[in-house]
């Protein structure tokens, strides 16, 4: 894939290893299944594994195997990151509530995962690969005078091969600007996802990423930001 710069309209894909994907590229908010998919973010339990004691994150989690164009959910299990990748919350097995079966099995979600795998194959000039895909539904909440931190660990690698950050929705909030840096800590992309269905696809092996805190844009009101994060790791031969 040849590199392209993002245009002001956001209709163009930025250069690998950080791709900016407009709504409709992977998932269309006009899809009849989108409303129920986005509404499922209203039913996320609080993340009780926050080493900073924060109560600003809600989430659900699921793991899949993607091979031969087929996406299969695997038995529920703990999420684990090395401390090198997540000094704040890594180094321990964290158990999160499972993603609802009716969402993970939906046509929309299955197409989203398969479409992302196809884009990765295109962007990395690789043939079809088998992937272990982890799905994280996140809601970050901000109360009046109390910001919410999308990644409390700051700039980081997820410790996988590719990462998709898809904006699902949110209320009136300020902040939430994503930043991507290369191996020399040079910023290669700064972008605020604003449109549901808009996404960043990152080569996690070569770039690291972070997102600025969110705050309520309306004094005295709470605010939230909903995202879906999909991580792709090449499945090991067993
Ligand atoms: Fe991340």
Give the pLDDT of the chain (238 residues) as one tens digit per residue. Answer: 333 344 434 444 466 799 999 999 999 999 999 999 999 999 999 999 988 888 899 999 999 999 988 999 999 999 998 888 888 888 889 999 999 999 999 999 999 999 999 999 888 876 668 999 999 999 999 987 789 999 888 999 999 999 999 999 999 899 999 999 999 999 999 999 999 999 999 999 999 999 999 999 888 888 999 999 999 999 875 4
- C-alpha 194: how far from its chain's center? 14
d(CA 73, CA 23): 25
Distance 185 CA to ligand 1 centre (A): 16
Distance 157 CA to ligand 1 centre (A): 6
Domain spans, the chain: 18-234
- Token pair in block for residue 235: 């499945």
Distance 156 CA to ligand 1 centre (A): 6
Instruction: Name the residues around ion ligand 1, CB cutoff 5 A.
Output: 158
The alpha helices in 14-81, defined as continuous H runs, are: 34-39
The alpha helices in 56-143, defined as continuous H runs, are: 101-104, 107-123
What's the pTM?
0.91
CATH of the domain spanning 18-234 = 2.60.120.620
Please report, for the chain, how many H helices and E strands are present, in that order: 3, 12
d(CA 215, CA 133): 30
Distance 24 CA to ligand 1 centre (A): 22
Distance 209 CA to ligand 1 centre (A): 6
User: Is 177 buried (19+), middle (13-18) or exposed (0-12) by CB count in 10 A?
Assistant: middle
């Amino acid at each position: 894939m040849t590199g392209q710069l993002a245009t002001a309209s956001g209709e163009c894909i930025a250069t690998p290893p950080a791709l900016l994907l407009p709504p409709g590229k992977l998932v269309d908010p006009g899809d009849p299944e989108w409303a129920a998919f986005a509404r499922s973010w209203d039913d996320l339990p609080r993340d009780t594994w926050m080493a900073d004691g924060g109560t600003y994150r809600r989430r659900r989690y699921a793991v899949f195997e993607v091979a031969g164009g087929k996406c299969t959910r695997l038995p529920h299990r703990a999420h684990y990151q090395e401390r090198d990748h997540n000094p704040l919350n890594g180094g321990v097995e964290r158990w999160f509530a499972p993603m609802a079966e009716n969402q993970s099995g939906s046509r929309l979600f299955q197409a989203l995962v398969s479409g992302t795998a196809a884009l990765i194959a295109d962007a990395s000039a690789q043939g079809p690969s088998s992937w272990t895909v982890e799905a994280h539904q996140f809601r970050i909440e901000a109360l009046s005078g109390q910001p919410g931190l999308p990644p409390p660990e700051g700039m980081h690698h997820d410790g996988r091969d590719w990462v998709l950050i898809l904006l699902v929705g949110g209320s009136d909030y300020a902040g939430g600007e994503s930043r991507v840096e290369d191996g020399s800590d040079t910023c290669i992309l700064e972008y605020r996802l604003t449109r549901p269905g808009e996404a960043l696809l990152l080569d996690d092996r070569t770039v690291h990423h972070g997102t600025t805190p969110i705050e309520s844009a309306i004094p005295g009101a709470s605010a939230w930001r909903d995202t879906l994060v999909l991580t792709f790791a090449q499945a090991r031969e067993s």
